[in-house]
Structure 1
Amino acid sequence: MGDPSEATYDLAAAGDDAVRLARELVRRDSTNRGGGEGDERATAEFAAEALTDAGLTPRILEPAHRRSNVVVRVPGTDPDASALLLHAHLDVVPARAEEWSVPPFGGEVADCPVTGAPSLWGRGTVDMKNTIAVATAVIRHWARSGLRPRRDIVLALVADEEDSAVFGADWLVREHAQLFEGCRVGIGER
């Protein structure tokens, strides 16, 4: 990458990108009310667009209307290395606005009352829109910097984790197992 000051700038830009992506993800209401009632489509479209900007070709897959999943493979440099699955969920649990001190889907940055540090507030900021934003920002940073991981990385952003996974991970592995070919290790929430 050249001189270290360029690397620092690039990493700072990636951090700023992660914050911007997280704010935009939170602003897209992907509430899962359970019993099949949910809508991850806007969040999936935003994530897919951000990954497309990195030169990738993500797939939006829906087992039912607006129950959207995103899967993309980031090619690695070593074709013999097993692939890594990185998965996160697009849906969030319901938020009652009257119980929040900020709009739950506002994606606002405000000082934390405990630490005083600026913090991102909104539904999904710690479960798991933050993870989606960071993973996407890293992938975008790699693309801008001409970097590639050693192994393929399969990023799966799934629907319906907050309920049954019937419209998300369960459906993907039953109907689209080929997308996970070569994955030997997975990293996720649990």
Structure 2
Amino acid sequence: MHNKILKKYYFINKFNQSHIDKQDQETTIIYRNYDQDIDEKLILRIKSYCKKRGHKFLLSNNIKLAIKLNLNGAYIPSFNNDKKHLSYSFKKNFIILGSAHNVFEIRNKESQNVKAIFLSSIFKKNKNFLGINRFKFLSRLSKKPFIALGGISKTSLKKLNLVNCIGFAGISFFEQKKGP
């Protein structure tokens, strides 16, 4: 079996240059902080730093601001059911990603016209735990590409070859000393 080249998505909730410096250029940075109000100056600092380092940069849960600040795209969390963005005009390479935990949320993300769906949690045993078999089942219910999320480590990374995914996302995986 061949190893797939998987896309990488790193969720951050604060600006830490040393963590971003550890990532290779193919890693997409997603700013997701629901505890604080959005600080446009901070977003612009992260955008500038990511552009200098060659990373794509996405903003979570605020498509209008992502368009205004000319970011690479936006991420729609599973709890966001809004479809207002369908009437917005985007630049050519603007990407919208979304997350889901079940069939209902997958259908909702399809109706929001996302490019790919984060499906969680594949390895982390929390209330949304899927496991490999349920992940495989749910990923067959849509033609959209899927990205594995939740509990991914260096040891579980090889298991992603068993499922239908184009990439993986996380936080702690990317904050390790050496990086992926």
What TM-score, normalized by structure 2, do the two folds share? 0.23
Structure with larger Rg: 1
Which structure has more RCO (C-alpha within 8 Å, separation ≥ 6)? Answer: 1
